[in-house]
Structure 1
């Protein structure tokens, strides 16, 4: 079964949750959904990350029993595993706009605990799209791209996450890049440094199967680095 078909089937199976107000798809599947025809050519991980604002936790918990094609993982309560091999895992992550981007905390709950990632405080709602009859809301591209760049990325998984950032950069419009720049300027100096460090790593990455080839986009990455770095030298 093609990865795209599994992704679409998972979204349809998770419809009771993903169509709730303010719920976002926030993970590595976003660039796949942004591709023409939702081609889903990037296979980064076999899960669907669903962002749950902490003030919407109760509403999601109320509907969680409707995920009849999934069962909660015994090892990771925020992960729901598919009953069918044709579906992806569903991973619930918490979002708190008041959280410091460098911190994280656990929202304890007996039914649906959430790890609330501080970097996701940079992510706000973006466009709603139709996925074969299911309306899902994506994050605004600039915020998700900044989240990918501000988070510490190490090892093979970190490299692949940076290539997800590259996929987002490839899809960014001029207005997205303007928004990205404005958001970057509001970060603390150490977080801006983390962003520039990850851009440096991204500029050095080699191609990986199933991921965007970084080589044709190295000029774009370098231009973004220069833009950010120039602002630093000017004291922005």
Structure 2
């Protein structure tokens, strides 16, 4: 890739991050309210036109990553039904709704079985408990879910067969997300407007089940899509892991 294309891709990624609503609800970052004014939308349209070729390049790279991930999961499904994409997709939807429900109740212990221990404790202490002490509340309402796309699959065997395997999934939802004062309800970050929000969820095979191990903003999807090109064929990885 030439220096110009590298700089262009970097600018397109920056634009992508600016245009995409940031991580909503679980994960701790409030969805951005940028580009919601008339002139903001005009500026967004202009930037999109300028960087359209590079944005399309990003979409193509993510599509290729999705195709490779689905192929690897099909290979694994022949050996273990827990890797079946339709089954995983339903698991991801259940995790999405349950984690958001626990987040809304401000108590992730209610859904701790659906998350890795480290992650739910981290989210509870770093965000929910902190906001409570500061007199703030995160209002996060999901109206409907949209696309669910696999971006990256990494097979591992950490002591047990398939334990520690990683699956990264992009999920979109039409939702409302803002941080408000607990008393009075004044919005301090984000907006009350419903918007399409993409988040990237990492699932780790933990105790024989897929559990949420990270939630990130949608802008990181390209980084994961690029990583898949560095992975060896799943057949090689599986044989190496099983013989270790």
TM-score range, shorter chain: under 0.3
What is the TM-score when the length of structure 1 is the normalising length? 0.27
Q: Which has the larger radius of gyration?
A: 2
User: Counting strand residues as a fraction of each chain, which structure ranks higher?
Assistant: 2
